[in-house]
Amino acid sequence: MQTATETTLGIVDALTKGTAPVSEIRVLFRHPAAVVRANALNALIPHAKIDGGLIEFFVAAAQNPINEVRLMGTISVAHVAVGCLNQIGTQPALVAATELLVTWPEPDRTDLRWYLHSEGHAPA
C-alpha cells in the first residue's frame, strides 16, 4: 500500500513531466495537498495558452481561501496562480492577473508583488 506522501509525490511527478491530461489536472485543483494544487496550476499553463477558457481556473484558484496556505515563506498557492496567469501571457490572462493584483489585500499584496518580481513576472 502506498503512503500519502508517495501518492502525492507520484502526482507531482506526473504533473511536472506533463503526462497528466487536462481533465485530471482540473480535478487536482481540489486536491487536499497544497503542493499538488500548485503543480496543477503550473501544468495547466501550456493548455491555457491555447484554450483561453482555462483562465477561469487560475482566477478561481487565486481567489479560493484554501489556496492562502503557504508553500514556502510568504508564498502561497494563490500567489502561484497569479504568477501562472502572467506566464500564460495572453491578453485575457494578463488582464486577470492585473485585476487580481490591484484588489489583493495588503499586506499580502506586497508579498505577491515580491513573488511576481522574483519569478520574473513583475507587474507593469
CB 26 within 8 A of CB 43: no
- The CA distance from 61 to 54, in Å, is 11
- Report the alpha-carbon distance of residue 37 to residue 29 in Å, rounded: 5
Global pTM exceeds 0.95: no
DSSP H helical ranges for the chain: 4-17, 22-28, 34-50, 55-63, 77-88, 91-103, 108-118
Q: What is the pLDDT of residue 19?
A: 78
Return the pLDDT at 5.
Answer: 46
- Grid cell locating 71: 508553500
What's the distance, Cα to Cα, between the start and end of the chain in Å? 49
Q: What is the pLDDT of residues 64-90, one digit of tens each?
A: 999 999 988 889 999 999 999 999 999
**Spans of the chain, pLDDT less than 70:** 1-6, 122-124
